[in-house]
Structures are given as C-alpha cells and as structure tokens.
Structure 1
Amino acid sequence: MMLRVLAFSLTLCSPVMALSEVALANTSPAQDQLQSMAQANRSLNYTGRFLYQFGAEVSTMEVSHAVIGGREFQRLTHLDGRLVEVLRRGDEVVCLHPNGTLTRINRKHSGPLALGDRIARDVPAQYNILVDGDGRVAGRATTRMRVAPLDTYRYGYRLWLDNDSSLLLKSEIVDGSGVALERVEFVSLTLAAPLTEQDFSIPETVKESDLKPLEDSHPSHRLSVEAQWMPPGFTSVDQDWRQSGSDREPVAAQGYSDGLAAFTVFVEAVDGGSVEEGVSRVGPTVAVSRRLTAPSGAYLVTLVGEVPQSTAERVIEGIRVRDSQL
C-alpha cells in the first residue's frame, strides 16, 4: 500500500495526443495545428487559472509561464487543498511540498499541463488526429481536435486550441466510451504577462526531501526490470533507483511510453511476509500491484500510469526482475 501511495504521489506531482495511416505520411492541417501549439507552449509568456478534474476530484490551479534569457520557466500552484507547487527552471523541475521539502522530478511529468508538452511532439503512429469543429474556452474562440487511439491499449484525447495564440486551453483524456477521465480547462488567461526570473524562485527555507538517488555502488544497481509484453509502440526509458529513508528498501522506477501515453513500473524488495496486492484507479491513472518471486528474492511490483486497467494488468503479468550477478 505504501508503495502504491508513493507511486500515485509522484504521478500527481508530475500530475501524471492521426486519419488513416496513409494520411499520416503527409503533413495534415491537424498536424500543422499541433506544431503551432508546440511553438506557443514553449515560447509565450502568460499567466492564468485553470480547473483540474482528476477522477471525482476538482481543484483550481494557477500557472505562470515565461521564456527568460532563452530558458523556459513555469510555475504551477494548487489554490485549494494542500499548497503544492511544481516549478520548472530550464531543465530543472521540482515539486514543492506543504512540509517545506522539495523533490526533483522528471521534466516529462511536470504537472497537469504536461499533456500539452507530450502531444506537441510528433503524434505516434498508434493514434489518429482530426479537427473536430469550433469551441469556446475562457471566453476565447478555439479549434476543437481529437486524438483517437487505433487500439484498446491506450486512451484518447480531446483538445481545444486557442485560435489567436494556439495555446492549449482545454484537454480531456477519454476512455473507449468517450467519457472524460481527466480534464484541464482554463478559466482565465493573460497573454504577454510581465514576468521575471524572481517569479519562479525557490523559497530559501525549502529543503531537499529524503527521496534520493542511490549511490552507484549500491547492490540494487545489479537488478534490472524487464517486460515480456508491451503494447505496440511502447518502449522503455531510463531506469531509476531511489531510496526514501535509510530504513526502507530501495524502489526501482522503470518508465515506458509510446511518445504520448506513459506508465512506470515500481519494484521494491520485500521479505517473506504477505504484501498487499490489488488495483486502484483515480481518473485515468491506474495502479496495479503484484507480488513477484525471482531467483534474487521476492518483490512487490506496482505499475502506475495513464493506461486502461486491462493494459496495465497484462503488462504487469509479464514483468521480470533479474540480478546480473546470478
């Protein structure tokens, strides 16, 4: 249970988009719109507030974004509930926690607006893109778009792009029935905001949290996480071992992505006692835990990510842990 809570926390702090295949070979108006969105997301200065719906929970967040001295800055602040902030300063991304600590996180998973960053790249071949009409968000005219998966292993997306600035003003992650599992929607937007580097500073009182990378000499680095089955298009990214406190076993985090959807497999060594297995789901994010016995010992394996439960369960059944010394 503790591992699943940790995995969900990192995903939320990081809060975890093509017509026919022939049409994908050429640049389409829809692809051109996404490229314009990519440029706008990277280059415009703006501030705004948006609603973030994740499952049954709805929160209000504030965002500031600027390019200063050729570096990209962004600050996301929760305005209700716990005071949590995600701060990007160039290549550095940190999560500021209510207890006065910070955790360094992966830039690819830097808050609810990270979807705009992911979908701004070339859309993987496993999806169809199409323009779906007009809309209106935060009092601004928008173009509505859909990114639909070609199989049942991943979710689809609905997008609303600002006609004037090309910014992504609203996005939804939807299941196979078209039900929105996660929604990000701006309620106010100010373009060309006069922001300075000071607006993205880290408070001097903040301390580094105890979730730290392991030393290269730690024996856990001999272990590797391997998947026997992956949905088409998914590939692995860097594996990372981290330890929360000296009295806890290290946790391995192995990420996988198709270039748009993503999930992470967490592995923690356990003793001979019982461990909690099961499934949890919040919005589009699923967590599936299984006990795994390998030649090197027993492990609790937890998959967390924005994929359907059936995909997560099939992947985790094929996870293997190997020790290079055996």
Structure 2
Amino acid sequence: MSGLCLGFRLGVLLWLGSLVPLAQAQDTLPADHPLSALTQIQNAARTLDYAGITVYQQGRSLQAAQLVHWVDGSGERERFETLDGVPRECLRENRSEQCLYPDQRLVVHRTVGADHFPALLQADPGLISQHYEWRPALGTYRVAGRDCMVSELAARDTLRYSYRLCTDLENHLLLRTQTFDQHGHLVDQLAFSRLKLSPDIKPADMASRHDVQGWTVHQEIHRSVDLLAQGWRFALPPGFRPQAEITYQANAGQSVDQLVISDGLAAISIFVETFDPQRDQNLQEGSLRQGAINIYRMRLATYWLTAMGEVPAQTVRDVVHAAQYVSKTVR
C-alpha cells in the first residue's frame, strides 16, 4: 500500500468518535424489530462482565485473543491481548486506551470511539433496516458451551456483506458473528471459543502482565478536519453517512486525513495523504484484501487516496473513483 503501513491503517479503521446512545430506543419498538434486537446485543457487550478466548478465522488462518470486560462504578474496563502472531495488549477504561507492543517496548495512548466484538453496531443504526433484511430466530446453536439463537442481517444490495449472528439465549451477548459475500460464501467469522461470565471475573483479570517502565510512550492525537474546505468531494454509497473527519500524524511525522463513513454495521475509512515522489516512487495503485477488509488505493492529483472497509471490493473501489479534488488555486 502507500506510505502508511497496512497494520497502522487497520488500527484506525473504525475510529468513529462518540457513538450514539442506543438504550432509549428499545422500549418503544417491538421485540422482533431489528433495532430492538441489535440494541440488546450492543447493551450486553457494554454492560456485562465476561472473559474468554476469541478466535478470528479467515480462510485457513486462525488468530486467537484473550478478552476481559469488566464494568464497575467508574464505567467499562477491558483488556485485550493477542495470543498469535505479533504480541499486543490493549487496556481500555471507557474511551481511553493504552496498547502495549512488547517487541518494540512501546506504549501507545489513544482515544477510542468504536466498540468491537462482541459489540456489533458502528454508528447510528436507524437506517439499517433500509439496507439489511432482518431474519430473526432461524434456529439455535451452541458456541463456547452456551446455547445461542441464530439470526441474520441479509444485505439488500451488493454494496455490503451479510451477517449471521448467534446470540446468547440468556443475556443476548453475541457469541459468534459470520460474514458472507453476495454469493453466500463465508468471508470470515469471529467467535468465543471459551467464555466465563460474572461473578467469575476478578479485578486481577484486568491487570497487565507487562512492566512498561523504560518503554517508549507515544500519544496519538487526532484533530478535526474539514475535507470539504480542503477541496475534497466524496460520493458516498447509499446508506453510508459521515461519522468523523480527523487528521493525525502517522509514520515519520507524516500527516494523514481520514474520513470515516458507516451504514450502522459496516464502516469505511477514506485516507488522504500527500504523494511523496522519493518515498512513493515504487508504490502502485490497486487493491488488496485481508479477510473481510478490502482496500483500494489510487493516485489523485498530488495525493494518495485509499479506501478501506469491511465491504466488498467493488464498494471501496467505487468510493475512490468517485472522489474529486478541486485545488484551492482553481476555485
């Protein structure tokens, strides 16, 4: 890809700012309404105490992680640690997070806005029913030793993926999510392979096992940016709405602008970075895929424009090719 590494981009892909509150919508909707069901899933992920091993599968690749979530008088606390590949541990308290990279002896502090598995919603869910068909209670299954109800969110078009969910029968916690393309082929899945619930969670479960004394500390700072004022025009896919416009310093002090859009379930990040002839002379335009995440990059004027999201490849390609840049010197 371009000057920014893929791993860094994946880390900021779902930065969405503050999510809208969901709980107040549930009491006014029937139980079989998709928003009611999705709200129950989101609230379970945010309010329950749980710990377990999650497994992410794409093709023949499996990646495991340990997840602990605990709610106390100060709010949400969470510890996430990868068990395969490059070691990484993230400790979150509400929207403040520090991620530890032991192989680099590095601590990164950041503000997070988006929830992750077992949460589901990425933005205001109000338009979800326009672009996904809700198919509730298709049957029961068993995940991580617990009974769960199978439901589906089937995409109404080819711009997005479909999802099959398995939610705990007792507390609505999402135990497994599967992503399918327009042909019904499994793209990836994420599930608990082991799970324990409160009161089995203890404060010690939240403690990091790393002593970070002497490690390098980096503070990620995001600032709001107005891409329209800078000359950028984006034609968004139907159902996707802007969620955040930010700018930040990436590798080697390089400034990157980012627009995040979402349809409530899927999110797409659009990155704008200046083309550097020396640094980027061997880079090429084109596409890349990692699991359900598709990436497309194109040179536009004196910039690299990259779209990345958990959507079909054609969707990110269309987002990039529909973009326009009007230089201030010609306006």
Q: Same fold (TM over 0.5)?
A: yes
Does residue 102 (structure 1) correspond to residue 69 (structure 2)? The answer is no
What SS does the corresponding residue of 1:29 show, helix, strand or coil? coil
Matched, 1:236 2:242: yes
Superposed CA offset, 1:251-272 (max 9, x none):
1111111111111111111145
Contact 1:170 1:184 in 2 (8 A): yes
User: For residue 5 of structure 2, what is the aligned residue in structure 1?
Assistant: 5
Quote the offset at 1:248 in angstroms. 4.7
Q: Post-superposition shift, 1:52?
A: 1.1
Output the CA distance in 2 between the equivalents of 1:184 and 1:242. Answer: 30
1:68 and 2:72 matched: yes
Superposed CA deviations along residues 17-64 of structure 1, whole A, max 9, x for unmatched, are xxxxxxxx9634253433332222111111111211145421111110
Bigger mean CA offset, 53-62 vs 195-204? 195-204
Partner of 1:187: 193
Q: Which residue of 2 aligns with 1:152?
A: 158
Measure the CA separation in 1 of the matches of 2:84 and 2:275.
Answer: 37
Are 2:214 and 1:209 equivalent residues in the alignment?
no
1:29 paired residue among 27, 32, 37: 32
Structure 2 residue 272 is matched with structure 1 residue 267: yes
Q: How far is the alpha carbon of 1:5 from its aligned partner?
A: 2.6
Residue 215 of structure 1, CA deviation = 11
Alignment of 1:1-326 (within 5 A): 1-3=1-3, 5-6=5-6, 8-11=7-10, 27-29=30-32, 31=34, 32-98=36-102, 99-105=104-110, 107-109=112-114, 111=116, 113=117, 115-118=119-122, 121-122=125-126, 124=128, 125-131=130-136, 132-192=138-198, 193-196=200-203, 199=206, 204-205=212-213, 206-209=215-218, 212-213=221-222, 223=230, 225-227=232-234, 229-244=235-250, 247-272=252-277, 274=281, 275-293=283-301, 298-322=302-326
> What per-residue deviation string (whole Å, max 9, x for no partner) do you get for residues 76-117 of structure 1?
111122111233211213433231323445634455x16524
Shift of the 14–96 alpha-carbon distance from structure 1 to 2, 3 Å rule, reads farther
With structure 1 as the length reference, what TM-score do the two structures score? 0.82
Match of 1:284, as an amino acid? Answer: A
The residue type paired with residue 63 of structure 1 is L
| TM norm structure 2 | 0.81
1:13: how far off? Answer: 7.1
Identity of aligned residues (%): 26
Q: 1:169-189 CA distances to partner (integer Å, 9 max, x unpaired)?
A: 001111112222221111111
CA RMSD after TM alignment: 3.2
Aligned residues: 307
